[in-house]
Every structure is written in structure tokens, then in C-alpha cells.
Structure 1
């Protein structure tokens, strides 16, 4: 062991964001509107599977049912797994984001959801390119699958780009600089 005095380590300033209030439009959308929407999706994917399939693509739903006109077991399992992911989406936004105003947490979670938005939109490609822009052909499912996802992705991009957010503040040992 050395008897030499230890050099005092200085803490570097870090970005503190927990004390910065988030704008109401972000809180309203991410903590209420979007979680409710995802919960509705979870409900239909699990409890109203035939309706979910029909609203997604009516033409292929009829041919995908079993001999009794029911959703096949494998499809039912996959839709229930999808419902579970919608529920996770709901809980992440409604509960996890509600626990903090730390922008680093919000940015991390919203970035992950932005990636999921892009994957969600990509998953619709088999329905044809019209699904992305022909609003006159959209049913309730398409309204949830396309423009609502566009709005969610746009809100996430705006948040990630700092639109409407005040700049970060420096903190050293718990004191703002």
C-alpha cells in the first residue's frame, strides 16, 4: 500500500435534464394519446382477431380462415403476441416515461419506438404502395397503421431534434451552472 496522498478527482459537468419540464404537447401525445391507441390495437389483435385481420386485408382474410371460418391457431397465437407487443408499447410510454422528465431516458425510449415505427410501416409493403398515401382507401385499421404512425414518428423525430425543448443545462455536483 502506498502512503501517497490520493489525487482528488474532479467530476466533469454533465447534462442534466431531469429538472427541465417537457412541453405539454409531447406529454399529452406520448403519455396519453399514443398509449391509448396502442391499447386499442392490443384489444383488437387479441380479442377481435377476425376483425383485426379483415381490417388489415379483407381479401386474404377469407382464404386464411380454417374450415369452420375461424382464425387458425397459428394466426391467433401470432396476433396475441402482437397484442402483447402493443401492450408493452403502451406500458413503456404510459408508465416508464411518466416516471421521469429526464430527456436522456425519453430520447432513448423514443428512438427505439421510432425504429419500431419504421419497421411497422415497412411491414405494410405487401399491401401495395397505395397503402402509404391513398387516404381515400383507408379504413379504420389503415388510419391507425399509416397516418397515425406518421404522426407518432414525426413527434418522435421532433423530440429527438429538440423541437420545442429548451437547451440542456450543465450540472456539477448537483448544482446548475
Structure 2
């Protein structure tokens, strides 16, 4: 957890330092170790019938995706834990917010229902859309200063080393 130069509300601590990094690790696990299930949950009708029939290019891309999920988890779980500099927190979370929008854009081929019809979502859709909505919302709230005490809001004095 960040040293006490700014007070991080418990809901941000829980989400950014625990829930979301663990979720990213789950995504990394499925993309790397269970690629066929990952593909079937993403779009069943276009997924290969057997793991042995996953094209090499698709396996490579899934391994790269797994690595990016791992990076995502490291950035949140380790980088954010290592600093109490609010500017670093804002920068990392802004970068992740931009990535959230890119992630949502990446599922556009599944149709517009994917963005709003939660009754049809499977567990992958909940991760690819629902959880991304939650993460983006948490980042926007943090970046807007919601819930941050006045000592750590937009006018927070950040310790600087000379």
C-alpha cells in the first residue's frame, strides 16, 4: 500500500491493489494456459473445435495478450504499491483508462449488444465489458478526485526529492 503521504480510500485500495490485479492474472492464466476456452468464451462460433487446431498465429497472439495482462497486474499491484506520489498514481491510472477504452473498442466486432445487453453476457463478456466498465468508472472517479480527502485531492502537496 502507498505510504501515508496521501490517504487512499479503502475502495480504491481494494480495487486497484487487489481485485483488479488478481482479475488481470486470471485473464493471463486463461489466455496462456486455457486458450481454447478463452477463444470459445470470446466467440464460440468462430473458435476452433480442438486445442490442437488453434492456429499458431492465434496462439502467439494469446500468449502476447497473456503477457500484457501480466504487465497490467504488475503495474497496479507493484508500481502503485511502491509510490505515494499522487502524480504517478494519476499517470498510471490515466494510461489504464485509455487502455480501457481500447479494450472496449476491441470487442466491437461482436456487435453492439455486447456493450449493453448484460442478460446475454457469459463470464468472458462480464470480464471484457462489465469489469472494464467498473475499472474505467473507478479510474474516472479517482482522476476526478472523488472520495479523496482534501489533503490528497487535486491540490495535494506531493513530496518531491531534490
- Give the direction of change, closer, same or farther, for the CA distance of 1:92–1:69 in structure 2 (3 Å limit): same
- Give the direction of change, closer, same or farther, for the CA distance of 1:156–1:169 in structure 2 (3 Å limit): closer
Where in structure 2 are the equivalents of 1:111-150 lying within 5 Å?
111-150=94-133
Question: Does the 8 Å CA contact 1:18/1:100 hold for their aligned counterparts?
Answer: no
Where in structure 2 are the equivalents of 1:18-33 lying within 5 Å?
19-33=5-19
**Alpha-carbon distance in structure 2 between the residues aligned to 1:150 and 1:98:** 23
Question: Does the 8 Å CA contact 1:35/1:91 hold for their aligned counterparts?
Answer: yes
Is 2:70 the counterpart of 1:87? yes
Which segments of 5 or more consecutive residues in structure 2 lack a partner in the other structure? none
Q: Could you say which structure has the higher strand fraction?
A: 1
More relative contact order in 1 or in 2 (CA 8 Å, sep 6+)? Answer: 1
How many angstroms does 1:171 deviate by?
7.2
- Give the direction of change, closer, same or farther, for the CA distance of 1:171–1:52 in structure 2 (3 Å limit): closer
Which segments of 5 or more consecutive residues in structure 1 lack a partner in the other structure? 1-16
**Alpha-carbon distance in structure 1 between the residues aligned to 2:158 and 2:128:** 42
How many angstroms does 1:101 deviate by?
2.2
Question: Does the 8 Å CA contact 2:30/2:38 hold for their aligned counterparts?
Answer: yes
TM-score norm. by structure 1 comes to 0.82
Where in structure 2 are the equivalents of 1:9-158 lying within 5 Å?
19-62=5-48, 69-158=52-141
Structure exhibiting the larger radius of gyration computed from Cα positions? 1
Instruction: Quote the RMSD (CA, aligned, Å).
Output: 2.1
Report the count of equivalent residues: 155
Question: Does the 8 Å CA contact 1:50/1:71 hold for their aligned counterparts?
Answer: yes
